[in-house]
Amino acid sequence: MADNRFAQQHWEKRNAESPGIRSEIVTGPVTDWATDFSHAEPEWAADPYSIQDDLRQRCPIAHTNRFGGGWLVTRYEDVAAIAHDTEHFSSRSIIMGNFRPPRELAPIGGSPPITSDPPFHHDARTLLLPAFTKTAVGKREPAARQLCHSLIDALEGQEVVDAAADYAQHIPVRVIADMLGFPAQDGPQFRDFAKDTLEGINMPLSERVTRKSALFYYLLAQVHDHLDNPRDDLTTFLINAELHGRKLDVSHVVGTMTLLLIAGIDTTWSAIGASLWHLAKYSRDRERLIANPELLPTAIEELLRAYAPVTMARLVKQDVNFGGAEMKVDDWVLVSFPAANRDPAQFDRAGEVIIDREVNRHAAFGLGIHRCLGSHLARMELQVALEVWLQRIPAFTLADPADVRWSAGQVRGPRALALRIGG
Contact set with other proteins (CB under 8 A): 126, 129-130, 132-135, 297, 301, 358-363, 365, 367-369, 371, 375-376, 379
Task: Decide the pairing of beta strands 70-73 and 332-335.
Answer: parallel
The Cα–Cα gap between 252 and 249 comes to: 5
The Cα–Cα gap between 235 and 248 comes to: 12
Closer Cβ to other proteins, 254 or 340, answer by number: 340
Closer Cβ to other proteins, 4 or 126, answer by number: 126
Closer Cβ to other proteins, 38 or 268, answer by number: 268
Closer Cβ to other proteins, 187 or 338, answer by number: 338
71 backbone φψ class: left, alpha, beta (φ>0; ψ -120 to 50) = beta
Give the shortest CB-254-to-other proteins separation in angstroms.
Answer: 24
Which residues are bridge partners to 411 per DSSP? 310
Closer Cβ to other proteins, 31 or 135, answer by number: 135
Give the shortest CB-23-to-other proteins separation in angstroms.
Answer: 32
Give the shortest CB-106-to-other proteins separation in angstroms.
Answer: 21
* Residue 221 identity (one-letter amino acid): A
The Cα–Cα gap between 154 and 128 comes to: 35
Closer Cβ to other proteins, 236 or 360, answer by number: 360
Give the shortest CB-116-to-other proteins separation in angstroms.
Answer: 15
Give the shortest CB-217-to-other proteins separation in angstroms.
Answer: 33
Output the CA angle 90-96-97, nearest 5 degrees. Answer: 130
CA distances from 217 to 122, 220, 334 (A): 28, 5, 30
Give the shortest CB-389-to-other proteins separation in angstroms.
Answer: 21
Q: What is the DSSP string of 7-26?
A: SHHHHHHHHH----EE----
Query: Does the CA dihedral 21-22-24-28 come out positive or negative?
Result: positive
Closer Cβ to other proteins, 15 or 375, answer by number: 375
Give the shortest CB-239-to-other proteins separation in angstroms.
Answer: 21
Q: For residue 48, give the nearest of 340, 403, 400, 349 by alpha carbon.
A: 340
